[in-house]
Amino acid sequence: MDIDYEKHLIISEALVFDKKVRTPTDYKRHVRIKRRPKKISEVFNESAVIWVDRENEKIGFSSNEFAQVFRTNEIESFCVQNVLPAKGSGGAYLEIVLNNGKHNYAIFNQACSFFDAYAEQIEKLTGKKLVFAEAYHDC
């Protein structure tokens, strides 16, 4: 839980996904993974959502009972990686490119090409550029 942020959380704008979206849940490996804030559950029920908190300069991502929150200035851009079905079922990953120069950080995943329809909305909501990585087959 991030009790301090939950006390001050303000939802300035949000994007709700029309299908269930998976998110990393291994909070022992990723310190950013926290319990979904109560306010997010109250407003969006169980829907997967990206919210922008302009007052606190944060961008949050939540699906199911987990959430991750980043300072707006930590995020350089977003990347969608589509994995085309081949031997496996494929998939799509919405990744964050952080300003610290480290590799992309996968935040959500769903079926192949799922995030393509949301690209413009994500850019508009967050004010961050979104690029598409070259798709590849999951062989």
What CATH number is associated with residue 19?
2.30.29
In this model, does residue 105 exceed pLDDT 90? no
What's the 3-state SS for 29-85? Answer: CCCCCEECCHHHHHHHCCCCEEEEECCCCEEEEEECCEEEEEEHHHEEEEEEEEEEC
In terms of Cα–Cα distance, which of 102, 34, 96 is closest to 65?
Answer: 34
**pLDDT average, residue stretch 52-77:** 96
pLDDT at residue 15, rounded to an integer = 98
3-state secondary structure of 109: strand
Give the containing element (helix H, strand E) for 16: strand 13-16
What domain count does the chain have? 1
Instruction: Round the average pLDDT of the chain to a whole number and report it.
Output: 93
Give the containing element (helix H, strand E) for 95: strand 91-98
76 — phi, psi (to 5°)?
-80, -45
Which pTM was predicted? 0.93
pLDDT at residue 24, rounded to an integer = 87
pLDDT at residue 25, rounded to an integer = 87
Q: Which tokens go with 52?
A: 């922008």
pLDDT-wise least confident of 21-25, 37-41, 59-63, 106-110? 21-25
Domain that holds residue 28: 3-137
